[in-house]
Homo-oligomer: A and B are copies of this chain.
Amino acid sequence: MTMPGYIDEKAAIQKRLRRIEGQVRGLQRMVEEDTYCINILDQVSATTRALQAVALELLDDHLTRCVVNAVAAGGQEADDKINEATAAIARMVRS
């Protein structure tokens, strides 16, 4: 089985995702306690930024390992990998 690009960063990424899960649970608590809208909005923005940081980490790992390996192997696969990465970046930028 091919190892994913983030294989060496798995523990660090899981740690970030658990922290984000905690942030989302914190949001539920804030809503439960009728916290002021703007304070919740700011916490939503902070959570969004944390998710985007994970996306950028995954993308960096993907380019560094998967794309580099595909380029080293040469041929059509390299082009396919790059088009696939660009399409994922486009979906990320528009989200």
Tallying the copies of this chain within the complex gives: 4
Chain A interface size range: 35 or more
Q: Of B13, B18, B28, B44, which is within 8 A of A18 by CB? A: B28
Give chain A interface residues in 41-65, CB to chain B under 8 Å: 41-42, 44-49, 51-52, 54-56, 58-64
Chain B residues with CB under 8 A of A10: 31
A51-B48, A58-B37 given; A82·B64 CB < 8 A: yes
A residues neighboring B (CB under 8 Å): 1, 3-7, 10, 13-14, 17-18, 20-21, 24-25, 27-28, 31-32, 34-38, 40-42, 44-49, 51-52, 54-56, 58-64, 66-68, 71-72, 78-79, 82-86, 88-95
